[in-house]
Amino acid sequence: MSERRTSRTVAAPELSDELTRIAWRVERWIDPGPAAVVVGAAVAAVSASLLMPWSVRADGWQILTGHVDMGPLPRLFTIAVVVGLVASALALFTRHWPLAWTAATVCGIAALSGLWAVWSRQTAAGADIGPGLVVTVLAISVLFVTWAWIVVAAGPRAATVRPA
């Protein structure tokens, strides 16, 4: 009888450790719920806006690939937008909290650089802003706000320290 009690007492800490590790892994997942539709629509809008004209001279993809030079800020914006699209797609598909946090951060940086890109185009000689640039800034801002809301909603429970 003492052997059974000993095996139970040995198994209890192991089981407790395993349950703690499982709980830690589960807490690192997010459930965006209806916000996933908003993220998907914003990703589609940003993707489509890269094909739209950003100015009289160029489309968004031409600025991204470097075929047309509109200055450093629009180029920085296109790079940040593509990184934000990739991070958003990965976060949405994997539902992993750190990727959602990365998507929120990158989309926030992209939204800020987008505002700078619009400002730089407005203050340049012969200012020309196409609808694609405006749609991209608005859609990436929607992505930022949505990912920030998802991350804040899931944040405190995901910030626990990983068990050994």
Instruction: Give the residues across from 59 on adjacent strands.
Output: 53
Pairwise CA distance, residues 109 & 130, whole Å:
21
**Burial bucket for residue 27 (CB in 10 Å: 0-12, 13-18, 19+):** middle
pTM given for the model: 0.77
Pairwise CA distance, residues 115 & 136, whole Å:
10
pLDDT in tens, 100-121: 999 999 999 999 999 998 998 8
Predicted confidence at residue 10, as pLDDT, reads 53
Considering the domain delimited by 2-158, tell me its CATH architecture.
Up-down Bundle (1.20)
Question: What mean pLDDT, rounded, does the chain reach?
Answer: 83
State the average pLDDT over residues 17-31: 69
Pairwise CA distance, residues 145 & 94, whole Å:
19
Domain residue ranges in the chain: 2-158
